[in-house]
Amino acid sequence: MIEIRQNTKADKAILLLHGLTGEPAELYYLAKYLHSIGFDAYIPELPGHCQGAEALKRTTWQDWLNFSFEEYDRLKKEYDVVYVSGICLGAVLALCIAMEREELDKIACLSTTLFLDGWSIPKIIVLLPVVLYTVIKFFYAWPESNSLGVKNEKVREKIQSALERNDAKILDCFPALAILQMIRLSRYARKRLNRVKSKVLLIHSESDDISSVKSADIVYKKVSSKIKDYIKLKKSYHLIVIDDEKDFVFKKTGDFFMGF
């Protein structure tokens, strides 16, 4: 868990949820920015993450969802106002919280991942159903693409170096079992998007290497939110919070939570 608090307790907090196979640190700079404009920020470690592939394979989408509800409910006991944001898997979880917690006023969904259909996903992905619904799913792991979710070459090199040193908590692959759980969570969320009435900010790159804008398009069309904004980026890949347009993403996210 990463916690960034004001010197004196703020009345508003933001729960930030990281992506599939990711770690809290990927949202650290966003949290720092939100802290600078007056929010307390919390980035918990989702179940099964940061402990290796085997630990991740033992968790389910219900584990991720229940944990996210618990973290939100915990913060609601401490703060007058709690908002939620997330990237990738975390964005889907933010939507799911909004479906069940009607008092949740605002959510910011970054690189929402309802489908694994980005440009770096290999064409062999068509065989995914075969892998996921056979015993192969217990052993197979989809390799991380060379793009590593980042367009900025210097940032990509840092991620690659950390992976090679084996000192990063992120994984260099997507275990088939984890992908299966992500697919099940996506189906659960897509069927219930009309329940979302919170104000919604969607930010998604047109060059997302993991999940195309199809995911964000569907969310924007199907949520019941009266106030919703959708921003498309052009100079980033999937990890928009550490890529070339990160400062723009921070500003728009902060403005959204501070506004209205």
E strand or H helix at 161: helix 153-165
pLDDT: is 203 or 169 the higher one? 203
Q: For 157-171, what is each residue's pLDDT tens digit?
A: 888 777 766 655 776
- pLDDT band at 156, cuts 50/70/90? confident
Listed range (20-29, 31-40, 88-97, 128-137) with the worst mean pLDDT = 128-137
- Work out the average pLDDT over 50-66: 88
pTM: 0.91
Gyration radius of the chain over CA positions: 17
Provide the token pair at 74. Answer: 């915990």
> What's the mean pLDDT in 91-102?
97
Instruction: Name every residue whose Cβ is closer than 8 Å to that of residue 9 and which is 6 or more positions away in sequence.
Output: 40
Query: What is the average pLDDT score of the chain?
Result: 88
Least trusted range by pLDDT, from 143-147, 172-176, 218-222, 233-237: 143-147
Domain regions of the chain by residue span: 2-258
Please give the average per-residue pLDDT across 206-225, as a whole number: 96
Region of poorest pLDDT, from 32-46, 170-184, 215-229: 170-184
18's CB contacts (< 8 A; 6+ apart) are 24, 26, 27, 43, 45, 46, 49, 86, 87, 88, 89, 90
Token pair 């980035």 is found at 43
Q: 175 pLDDT band (50/70/90 cuts)? A: confident
- The answer to whether domain 2-258 has CATH 3.40.190.10 is no
Spatial separation of the C-alpha atoms in residues 130 and 166, rounded to whole Å: 31
Q: Check residue 163 and give its pLDDT.
A: 72
Beta bridge partners of 12: 81
pLDDT score for 150 = 87
d(CA 111, CA 22): 13
Average pLDDT over residues 191-215: 97
The predicted structure's pLDDT at residue 132: 60
- How confident is the model over 102-143, as pLDDT tens digits? 999 999 999 999 998 888 876 666 556 666 666 555 555 565
Tokens of 88: 């990738």
Does 11 have pLDDT greater than 60?
A: yes
| Per-residue pLDDT at 32 | 96
